[in-house]
Amino acid sequence: MSILNIVPGQLTLADLRRVSRETGLQLQLDASAHAGIDASAATVARVLAEGRTVYGINTGFGLLASTKIATDELELLQRSIVLSHAAGIGAPMEDSTVRLVMALKINSLSRGFSGIRRLVIDALITLFNRGIYPVIPQKGSVGASGDLAPLSHMSAVLIGEGEAFVDGVRVPGAVAMRSAGLTPITLAPKEGLALLNGTQASTAFALEGLFAAEDLFAAATVAGSLSVEAALGSRTPFDARIHEVRGHQGQIDAARAYRELLDHSDIERSHENCGKVQDPYSLRCQPQVMGACLTQIRNAAEVLRVEANAVSDNPLVFAGDNDILSGGNFHAEPVAFAADNLALAIAEIGSLSERRMALLIDSNLSKLPPFLVNNGGVNSGFMIAQVTSAALASENKSLAHPASVDSLPTSANQEDHVSMATFAGRRLREMASNTAGILAVELLAACQGIDFRAPNKSSEKLEAAKAMLREKVSFYDKDRYFAPDIEQAAVLVASGRYNALLAGGLLPSV
């Protein structure tokens, strides 16, 4: 059994990748968190005892913030906000996304600035560890005032409402709590608001987009190197001196990755004196384009690492000062920008890959058989596979439109500027799937091209990459039902197996 010990505020991207990808992972809260959590809850109780009026604790919410709530209705207030805000719509989040949402919320609440009791956090940990995942609709958040609807659906299970998946079966929240050995919780003042305020849904979507972008970057670097080999491309554009004088670290690192993949190749030696001066940009400018993508991935990773460890609910409890302050940490603009930049990187990775694949099927450019198959005319080979790539690349262009530039006021204009971060992160899954498909087609084409270069072989690493594909898909000797080949290759691309062929430390969470 694998255990992740959460020291609040210190989750790494590698930790979060584990949360997303490892089923059966168990969470435990480090004992160092207990004092801060208890002090924060005690401060809320003390403020109420002093008769102070504090937003979200003994007032209404949003535009109703000036409405004072009677003491005997404070527990009802917290229950009501969870139920009324559970207004999401659409298909449920994937289990991997829900695991991230729950782990991020546990991490944030455990920082000791949310005024929530330890027993509530412990209940979330128990649900996570039992593999009991709240049913959280994907749609319904604008990424400001927190991800209110998604987090309300998560929180509803804690009070015995809503729904959850238990062993894959959708059951009422009360049944889910019993399955976990828990009884429904009566939320104390501030606790409902603490649970549903925050950026955890937006951040979870964006983190999954980040992890996918990293896997795509690795697969694209491998596929692009294979295409260089298949097309008998020049090694000169990857020379370190070219990239050092420009100075962009992402470009420098990407070029090094290509050099390490292409090093010591029989195919390279077979055309040392070919006289070719330049290759098309899709081969020659890979370090520049992919390096720019790597920079965006790294920048987004740092923003998301910070946000994953942030306290983003409201109001915030500062126990040492006996103070509770209302602010706007729930506004997910940083997450929206990070997700939008990841969208650009994912789209460009796919766009460049489609151009390389198009080059390979053009015998005038690649000097390979037309459409990468023998007996052309009878066989159409990779002709329509390239059309599929073009369709996916074009679709990603529309999906890459920045979500963060949009804003619709909500809550009777109290929340008059929002981030749209939840959609910004959510659409990354579809974009990543499209790009995995594009890379799958290139991977098939490039390996086909290298097989045509036999008996010459590629480098040790690229031969290993080809072998991974050939475990699932054989050489395309004549036309056959093509879709299963693409599907198998896409699964390989999305699996992250190609990450191991790149140097450690290149990608933020790997």
Give yes or no for a contact between 227 and 446, defined as CB atoms under 8 angstroms apart. Answer: yes
SS3 label, residue 166: strand
Give yes or no for a contact between 98 and 133, defined as CB atoms under 8 angstroms apart. Answer: yes
* Token digits of residue 311: 């306290």
* Token digits of residue 26: 């168990």
55 included as an active-site residue: yes
* Token digits of residue 100: 């991230």
At residue 422, what is the residue type? T
* Token digits of residue 180: 């976990």
Distance CA 312, CA 306 (A): 11
Ordered alpha helix ranges (H), 362-382 = 363-366
Q: How many CB atoms lie within 10 A of CB 296?
A: 20
Distances from the Cα of 437 to the Cα of 206, 352, 383, 389, 476, angstroms:
20, 13, 15, 7, 18
Distance of CA 108 to the CA centre of its chain: 19
Which residue out of 55, 133, 258, 498 is catalytically annotated?
Answer: 55
- Which residues make Cβ contacts (< 8 Å) with residue 494, sequence separation at least 6? 212, 215, 432, 433, 436
Instruction: Of 503, 335, 359, 320, give the one whose Cα is nearest residue 424.
Output: 335
* Token digits of residue 86: 């559970």
Distance CA 11, CA 380 (A): 51
Distance CA 4, CA 30 (A): 10
Chain length of the chain = 510
Q: Which residue has the tokens 């070719």?
A: 276
Give yes or no for a contact between 240 and 374, defined as CB atoms under 8 angstroms apart. Answer: no
DSSP string, 396-415: HHHHTS-STT----BTTTTB
* Token digits of residue 501: 């062929």
Known catalytic residues? 55
